[in-house]
């Protein structure tokens, strides 16, 4: 091997090392961006079920059992656990003010759901609840 071959190999290895460094640098930025995006990705958080007595049009007092999940960002799930007692208290008071007709009618229920979402976001602090998914609703 003469000097030109050694110089060529040296330049070739320097080029490979530089390409590896740039690939690592740009690739790690992409990984960091994906991690941040995954933290903001929505996740469904199962809220505890609740049973509330509500008023009806007749003298009969009805009861409602509701199970739901809350759509929040992944990074907010730990904070949501600390705010859950306040959220459940607000849910109980909102449902106690409602009537059986308001919950059993499809159109009224969508308005009721929006009202619940608004009320929960007022007490959830920095946690933004994006949506409510009602998984079980029993009225009697």
Q: What is the mean pLDDT of the chain?
A: 80
| Whether pLDDT at 24 is above 70 | no
pLDDT at 6: 77
The span from the CA of 107 to the CA of 93, in Å, is 21
Range 32-50 average pLDDT: 73
The pLDDT tens digits of the residues spanning 72-117 come to 988 888 888 889 999 999 988 888 888 777 777 788 888 888 999 9
| Whether pLDDT at 48 is above 80 | yes
What's the CATH fold of domain 42-139?
A: Tetrahydropterin Synthase; Chain A (3.30.479)
H or E element, residue 77: helix 77-97
pTM for this entry: 0.66
The tokens describing 123, both together, are 């007490």
Q: Which residue has the tokens 């994006």?
A: 130
| Spans of all domains in the chain | 1-40, 42-139
Range 111-135 average pLDDT: 90
Q: Give first-to-last CA distance, the chain, whole Å.
A: 92
Closest CA to 23 of 15, 35, 34, 33: 15
H or E element, residue 70: strand 61-73
State CA 9 to chain mean position distance.
54
pLDDT at 118: 92
| Whether pLDDT at 29 is above 60 | no
């Amino acid at each position: 091997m003469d000097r030109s071959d050694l110089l060529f190999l040296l330049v070739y290895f320097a080029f490979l090392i530089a390409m590896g460094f740039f690939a690592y640098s740009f690739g790690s930025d992409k990984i960091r961006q994906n991690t941040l995006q995954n933290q903001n990705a929505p996740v469904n958080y199962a809220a505890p079920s609740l049973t509330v007595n509500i008023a009806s049009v007749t003298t009969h007092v009805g009861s409602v059992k509701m199970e739901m999940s809350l759509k929040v960002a992944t990074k907010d799930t730990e904070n949501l656990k600390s705010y859950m007692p306040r959220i459940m208290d607000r849910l109980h008071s909102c449902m106690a003010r409602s009537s059986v007709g308001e919950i059993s009618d499809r159109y009224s229920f969508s308005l009721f759901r929006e009202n619940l979402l608004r009320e929960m976001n007022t007490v959830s602090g920095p946690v933004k609840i994006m949506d409510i998914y009602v998984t079980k609703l029993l009225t009697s």
